[in-house]
Structure 1
């Protein structure tokens, strides 16, 4: 199938499934790439944890932070910083910075990520990322507000109302009354910007080689594997990634490393116009779209 025909089919499939997205797949050896609306900007949600972790590790490398430094954590009964990890703790705990890094990536623990942001504020993360010559990624806030959306104000049987608001209230310029969905207020990125970050982590770049290796290891330990992993992980392929989710947004970025030596960076950022919180069909569709792009690029090579 030729490239233009493939893109038309994928656009039609996404529209039929109620999705709009920004996709990009890049061959890390040659730089060849294939994408779909790759420069469209989206709120980043938990994808912002990747630059946060990279910058934190770089500060540890420079001696500004100690990975063994314990961080005190006291549970808050009304906390809304996330549904996994420290937000579920019932008793006070001391967690080392190194372990916060693992929690932030492996189980997307937003409470752990905010403990890291307390050490390295969003402005410093953004400044360091720009210093690595990576553009298109904005880091504007912590993660607590991702757990404080209209969805948390409705009962479970009314969750569709929050998603209806998320879908229907967006402006043509991607503004939104829900701050987490407004690209001028939320941390944001595009598939191209995320692919550039992955490329910098998997190939020589301004990011220290040791730091990049640690980020790759953490992303390889990601336990959230319901989205793109089913189409990319195999006995002959390693999939390392990070997901991002808030309201009707579902993202994942990662790198698939094949046993034959080929490696591809993959970024899939999507928004749904279906007012439902649980959408396994959307997960399948975005994975199928990303896989089709990867297959086309790999076949072309």
Structure 2
């Protein structure tokens, strides 16, 4: 199938499944890439934990922070649906800064991430990322705000109402009365910006090599594997990633490294028109689209005479 034909088919499949979004797959060896609306900007939700962890690790490298420093964490908000890790603790805990990095990535622990933001505020994270030459990613707030959406005001049987609001209230310019979905107020980025960050972490860049190695290790330990992982992880392929979720937005970014030496950065940022909190079909669809883009790009790179 031609590239144009593939993209038309994938767009149709996304539309039929009630999804739209921003997808990009990049061959890290050649720079060749293939995507669907890769420059469309969406709120990034928990994807922001990747630049947060990278910048915090860089501050540890420079001696500005001590990775062994214990942080006192108060009991969390265990009544909020979807929160993991320290938010479920019933008693105070002491956690080292370096271990907060692990929790923020491996289980997307939002309490751990906000403790890290208390050490390195959003504006400093954003500034360092820009200094690394990565544009298009905004870091505007901590993570607690992601658990303060209309969904938390409804019972489990009414949560579809919050998703209906999320779907129907957006403006043509991607503004939204729900601040977590407004690209001018929320931390945001495109598939291209996220792929640029992954490229900088997996190939030589302005990011210190030791810092990049540690972030890659942490992303390889991600335990949230229900989205793209089934289509990318294999005995002969290593998948390292981070998910992001808020209301009707479901994202995942990562890198698949094949045993033959090929490696591809993958960014899938999606927005659903289906008013439901649990949508396994949407996660299957976004993974299938991302896999089809990777497969086509890989085959194109392997073709005789291809760059």
In the alignment, structure 2 segments of 5+ residues that lack a partner are 302-307
Residue in structure 1 matched with residue 305 of structure 2 by the alignment = none
- Is the partner of 1:104 in helix, strand or coil? helix
Paired with 2:214 and 2:77, the residues of 1 have a C-alpha distance of 33
Paired with 2:151 and 2:221, the residues of 1 have a C-alpha distance of 29
Q: CA deviation at 1:4?
A: 0.6
Q: What RMSD over aligned residues (CA atoms) do the two structures have, in Å?
A: 1.0
| Cα deviation digits, residues 45-73 of structure 1 (max 9, x gap) | 00000000000000000000000000001
| Cα deviation digits, residues 164-222 of structure 1 (max 9, x gap) | 00000000000000000000000001000000000000000000000000000000000
| 2:166–2:178 contact (8 Å) kept in structure 1 | yes
Residue in structure 1 matched with residue 7 of structure 2 by the alignment = 7
| Cα deviation digits, residues 19-67 of structure 1 (max 9, x gap) | 0010000000000000000000000100000000000000000000000
Residue in structure 2 matched with residue 244 of structure 1 by the alignment = 244
Residue in structure 2 matched with residue 141 of structure 1 by the alignment = 141
Paired with 1:159 and 1:36, the residues of 2 have a C-alpha distance of 30
- Is the partner of 1:197 in helix, strand or coil? helix
Residue in structure 2 matched with residue 51 of structure 1 by the alignment = 51
For the structure 1 residues 99 and 81, does the alpha-carbon distance in structure 2 shift closer, same or farther, using more than 3 Å as the test? farther
Paired with 2:164 and 2:78, the residues of 1 have a C-alpha distance of 25
User: What are the residue-to-residue correspondences of 1:257-268 with 2, within 5 Å?
Assistant: 257-268=257-268
TM-score, reference length from structure 2: 0.97
| 1:227–1:252 contact (8 Å) kept in structure 2 | yes
Residue in structure 2 matched with residue 231 of structure 1 by the alignment = 231
| 1:227–1:283 contact (8 Å) kept in structure 2 | yes
| 1:220–1:241 contact (8 Å) kept in structure 2 | yes
For the structure 1 residues 44 and 35, does the alpha-carbon distance in structure 2 shift closer, same or farther, using more than 3 Å as the test? same
- Is the partner of 1:242 in helix, strand or coil? strand
| 2:49–2:104 contact (8 Å) kept in structure 1 | yes
Q: CA deviation at 1:76?
A: 4.2
Residue in structure 2 matched with residue 212 of structure 1 by the alignment = 212
Paired with 1:91 and 1:159, the residues of 2 have a C-alpha distance of 29
| 1:81–1:148 contact (8 Å) kept in structure 2 | no
In the alignment, structure 1 segments of 5+ residues that lack a partner are none
- Is the partner of 2:170 in helix, strand or coil? coil
| Cα deviation digits, residues 56-94 of structure 1 (max 9, x gap) | 000000000000000001114577596100000011100
Paired with 1:266 and 1:288, the residues of 2 have a C-alpha distance of 12
For the structure 1 residues 212 and 205, does the alpha-carbon distance in structure 2 shift closer, same or farther, using more than 3 Å as the test? same
User: What are the residue-to-residue correspondences of 1:59-98 with 2, within 5 Å?
Assistant: 59-76=59-76, 80=80, 83-98=83-98
Paired with 2:19 and 2:40, the residues of 1 have a C-alpha distance of 14
| 2:81–2:152 contact (8 Å) kept in structure 1 | no
Paired with 1:119 and 1:237, the residues of 2 have a C-alpha distance of 35
Paired with 1:208 and 1:76, the residues of 2 have a C-alpha distance of 34
Residue in structure 2 matched with residue 99 of structure 1 by the alignment = 99
Residue in structure 2 matched with residue 131 of structure 1 by the alignment = 131
Provide runs of 4+ in structure 1 moved above 4 Å.
Answer: 76-82
TM-score, reference length from structure 1: 0.99
Residue in structure 2 matched with residue 162 of structure 1 by the alignment = 162
Paired with 2:137 and 2:78, the residues of 1 have a C-alpha distance of 31
| 1:81–1:143 contact (8 Å) kept in structure 2 | no
Paired with 1:77 and 1:285, the residues of 2 have a C-alpha distance of 32
Residue in structure 2 matched with residue 192 of structure 1 by the alignment = 192
